[in-house]
Structure 1
Amino acid sequence: MTNQRLLLGATLTYSGNPMQSAWEDAVKIDTQGGVLIENGRIAAVDKGDALRAAHPQAEVTRYADALICPGFVDAHVHYPQTAIIASWGKRLIDWLNTYTFPEEMRLSDPAYAGEIAARYLDLTLAHGTTTVASYCTIHPHSADALFQAAEERGQRIVAGKTCMDHNAPEGLRDTVQSAYDDSKALIERWHGKGRASYAITPRFSPTSTPEQLSALGALWAEHPTCLMQTHLSEQTDEIEWVRDLFPEARDYLDTYEAHGLLGERGLYGHAIHLEPREIDRLAEGGGALVHCPTSNTFIGSGLFDMTGLAARGIPLALATDTGGGSSFSMLRTMAAAYEVGQLRGTPLHAAQLIWLATAGSARSLHLQDHVGSLAEGMEADITVLSLDSTPAIAQRHAAAKDIWESLFATIMMGDDRAIADVWVAGARRGGRA
């Protein structure tokens, strides 16, 4: 007999994109819902009573004062920065030189890379994150370590060896040829194997020569099902640096476009200070933009124009950007996205925030057919949110007019204590339930 598990409680489902249409039409919560898991996938989503009657043999898990939702998808992280998260007082370039590069050199030790990869995935699973897209270091074994750790946990993973051949310390520079060769070998070893996807990963234009960018563009053309991840227009002084380094470029995005690194499967982190031409090119199908709000405020980058870019139809994702981001929690990241929206005069509803942290990020990673939604046939990556996880949240939950008010309180005040349960490919992997 097939092993079946039935989760009963309030269930969150999507029928559209709440950044493109009214959230009330795109996102629904069934307070008497259920999700049937079978062989690592979601077999059905329906009324709880109907599923119970149709599948009496299923093992039942009930959740009260909780919300069953898709596992969180974190679309831009730096797992090698796990140990330096919440380091004080630097802007981007100083942050890299003072904290990031010295720590990334430590991952030249394969044992340390393995330790940090395991630590990072365990921390994020505890916060309800079931899929991540991560930068590694220049060391190929740092990518192997993360792919292996994710495989051991059954997780969806997107990752790539970071490529840098100048404007970086000697211990963190590769070459044009080694970046190409090492990335190609990792693609052959991991891309499409199990739940792994590879992302070709130039850190950003200032740390790659035009020759390296061209080599990585050629590699992407040879492996078009791979993703490509990098950074774009994070801080104004960074943009000025790019202008100095690439005087022939029309703008920051052009430093990628000119070398074959603009495309539908591209992921461009931050994208705060975009020029009109850049927005036009991205809207023409040039990839997804990843909003990293805790990072943007922590290192003083600026305020991402979520609603303006959504209006142009550009795919959008949400991410912690650990360790420049100050939390491993996608709940905290959603809260920060709300706060950034308030500062821009365009606050997001709870339905939009949680969509961005699940289906929106999954779409940007081209994983929307696998994760990010509770729907029949999807991989059973599920996070169950407690709606009364702390005394402060519980009293707000008790006074809420509806479940959306309760969810918003958990988004704004929740942390890992709000993660009641985590299911990864149908297997229970964490939580407090």
Structure 2
Amino acid sequence: MTPTLAHIANSEARHRELLRILEQEQGSPADRRALLLICLDDPYPPVRQDAARGLGALMSEEVIEVLVHLARGQAPPPQTLASLALPDGALDWQSARAAVAALAALRFTPQVDRSAAVAAELLDDARDDVRFQALLTLYRLAPEHPAIEEKLEALLSDPDAELASSAAQIAVELRRAEMLPALLQSWQGARGPARQALAVAVAELVDASELSPESLPEASRSAVVEELTSMLRDEAWIAQASRALAMLDGQAAREALHAVIARWFAHPLLKLDAAAALIELGDARGEAHLAASLNARRNDVRGYALRLVGVKRLGQHLDHLLQLAKTSDYHADTAVLALADFGGEAATEALREVAQHHADAELRELARAGLELGHSPEPIAPRHARPDADVDGAP
């Protein structure tokens, strides 16, 4: 009898049962393999995601064959199904959500070239979700695949907004400066959250490609800066919009950034993001807020302010970092990370001293890592926001 979780109506309970079966390795590998394949079409996304991951430990030629056919929306040969104890009707081969989960599972196969080829093929699929997952899978498996080179620019204008945003982030990571005009065009035609994400991506591509903000047509740059400035009113976008405004030298946004700092209910870490942007824009109000935050009552605010001192290389606060790193203070480790980002002779010498003589073994190791890397081993924040960061299965 083919194992299934269909008898469990509650989605969360069904997910817990799947995790229990995987953790305890209940049943034979063949039973678990069949169960995971069936779960690729479960209505509950976490079940599909964990089924895709779970198949990574149970891969076989037959499993890969089923995944490839499922991703393409085709039924595999009957002998393949029989070898996996999957009866007819166990899966809906036309299911878009199962195709998405199958593409996610293909990330875990040993046949990387084959999986990448299938993902590349499905970049032209008629189903939006399938195209989206095909791009994520292909980029995860083979970021230099010719299909990315050939189709990324066109994907910036994909009718699926989420896919267009992901294509933009990939263009940023690959530093594809030549795609800036296409990205601007995509932004101009977008609406809602996708438009906001693409505005951030425009700034990030300018920054990642080491272009000057003036490389954008003045009208386009002003329009993007205006868009980013309006995004400061939405707390969900403050951090990204602040960084993007600094990347585009958005001087027109200085008052709006200061308004974030002055806002009564804005999160204090977001206020620091706005302050960091003001520092980049040469506005003294940003540095004043950061200096005050170094003495804030909240540990997270003090810690973030310390990291910003290192990233922005604010020399007026270097002595504070140098002293703090050598103590047993709660934020001694944060000061070590900040010194690694700060760089320079004084910071390097302090890291050497911590690495050799600090009483805390973890801090000594942290300092050694910073010296070896030439920067902090723990990034202050993701350089480029990735909407797909935690997507390994169906959205």
TM-score, normalising length from structure 2? Answer: 0.30
Query: Which structure carries more strand by proportion?
Result: 1
Q: Which gives a bigger RCO, structure 1 or 2 (Cα 8 Å, sep 6+)? A: 1
Query: Which structure carries more helix by proportion?
Result: 2
